[in-house]
A and B are shown apart, each in its own frame.
Chain A
Amino acid sequence: MFSRIPISAIIGLTITSLFLLTAAFAPWLAPYGLAETVGGVWEPMSSQFWLGTDNLGRDLLSRMIYGARTTIFIALLATAISFLVGSILGLTAAVIGGWLDALLSRFVDLLMSIPTLIFALVVLSVLPANLLTLILVMGILDATRVYRLARAVAVDINVMEYVEAARLRGEGRVWIVFREILPNALTPLIAELGLRFIFQVLFLSALSFLGLGIQPPDADWGGMVKENKDGIIFGIPAALIPAAAISILAISVNLVADWILNRTTDLKGGRSGQ
């Protein structure tokens, strides 16, 4: 089985796991503390500070490692929320149908007719600036996309014979959603998982870059770009390092997601030939 994994997916898997391991073991890997001032401002790369120091003289490598933890952890939580909310509502809407389906679907249409970033800015202008709010806003706004996918998949499954059979033998709606439809809708949903995670990473980075995400002294990669951006015009590339890390993470997850997506369409005899 493993011999059939394309080289791009192997690269993606390797880099993604490296990032995940870094995030998991951040405190043991980082040579210095998160908010510890260890040198001068924007020192160049050296054997002591592998990536140099940042705008306040903190070790950039250590902050990158802690930043990996913050970025990945929050993006994962937000993805989990968007999947939980989106798929449960989407499956329920498809099974129950009628006015509930119409109401939820039109509300999702409405939410999606405003660009996500713009609506997030509107909501964040009044909500308190803390981690919980941030994760909830990110998760709920993105749940709209999961909802659409889950509902579309579930509507197809809902008319299958085995669902009909379950209905006729008198199973309740909860059983039908969780035991009949969910297992069969899982494959396309999992393929979507990677893409939603990338979106959350980019979304969080954009919010933090605009100063509305993670608040200092904690750092995620987007916030670190913001902290170090003033150095760019003096030719100090410190801000490019966290920005590059975001890109590499996004590209490698994309490679993995692409492979899973192709595999699932293969299974269904779908569009992989094109």
Chain B
Amino acid sequence: MSYILTLLAKRLAISALLLLAVSALIFAGTEILPGDVAQSVLGQSATPEALANLRRDMGLDEPALSRYFGWLGGIVQGDLGTALTNGTDIADAIGKRLYNTVFLASTAAVVAVPLAISLGLLAVLYKNRWPDKLISGTTLAFISLPEFFIGYLLIYFVAVQLGWFPSVATVYDSMTFAERLNAVALPAATLTLVVLAHMMRMTRAAILNVMQSAYIETAELKGLSAFRIVAKHALPNAIAPIVNVVMLNLAYLVVGVVVVEVIFVYPGMGQYLVDHVSKRDVPVVQACGLIFATFYIGLNMIADIISIVANPRIRHPR
């Protein structure tokens, strides 16, 4: 047991270290210009006096390293700084949007994960027959579709022509849960379609991989029932790869959400990030970038942890 704990502790430590490095990279990414943030806020035509003033206000006259640690220290205490464009507190502005984004992504995940796994199982069950070919062909086409094509197709046909769901996903505080679900129906459907194809194909590959192992053949030759083979031999070995697939695709959801929120004008993190990139509001971009990266790293870490815990070979080391 202690062996697993050591492995888990190691994985946690790596993630923490990675997160620290990522924060440094995101900070450095906004420092790579020959000019600086003040220059990009005021534009090329700014007077030297105005530049100097803004630099002093933003603390840009301090060395980069001390600004980085100041920024990081603030984040650890929950202070994300203030937005350049309107002087509001970033943590306040992000709070509700983060909830909205997580709500949208989880709705998509709740639909996509069971659907992808059952489609993947179906494809394996009917391998090389028409259900498998149909599912695999359709998903191959879907992998190449950009999010906005799926999104606008849904808006054009489902929202505008049929009028089933609203085309713009407006949400506000006084909404009931059902109203909220209705509002995010189309964006969640878009996200689902975007990740479904990948998730299904990878699930199919993962299960096929397990089913072709020598121990499954042995179990078949021993004369075990099909149920016992799947339940006792295939499933324990397939859990880790499937969970891995699910987590990797949920991590992809983090990125897909940015474009989808812009398509449906949904008040979430992605929309907030994109708005402030074009306004060149660096503190907001840094904060959002770090939050997105944290989710991404976190999901990848959970994938690893589950495959450590689910792997019988690691659970019982020789």
Contacts and interface: CB of A to CB of B under 8 A. Distances in A.
Interface of A: 110-111, 113-119, 121-128, 198, 202, 205-206, 209-212, 222, 225, 229, 232-235, 237, 239-240, 243-244, 246-247, 250-251, 254, 258, 274
A98 to B, nearest CB: 21
A247 B282 contact: no
A258 B201 CA distance: 14
B164 interface: no
Given A113-B300, A126-B32, 13 more contacts: A113-B18, A115-B293, A115-B296, A123-B32, A125-B285, A126-B29, A210-B259, A222-B146, A232-B155, A240-B156, A243-B153, A250-B145, A258-B140
B277 A235 contact: no
Nearest to A253: B144
B237 interface: no
A125 B22 contact: no
A271 to B, nearest CB: 10
21 contacts: A110-B25, A113-B22, A114-B292, A118-B254, A118-B293, A121-B258, A125-B282, A126-B33, A209-B148, A209-B262, A210-B259, A211-B274, A225-B152, A229-B152, A232-B152, A233-B155, A233-B160, A243-B149, A243-B153, A254-B140, A274-B208
Interface string B280-302: 11100110010011001100100
A117 B33 CA distance: 19
Given A122-B30, A122-B285, A250-B144, A114 B25 contact: yes
A225 B30 contact: no
Given A121-B285, A126-B32, A210-B274, A232 B167 contact: yes
B147 interface: yes
Interface residues of B, number: 56
A243 B32 CA distance: 33
A132 to B, nearest CB: 14
B148 A243 contact: yes
Given A110-B25, A114-B26, A117-B258, A126 B144 contact: no
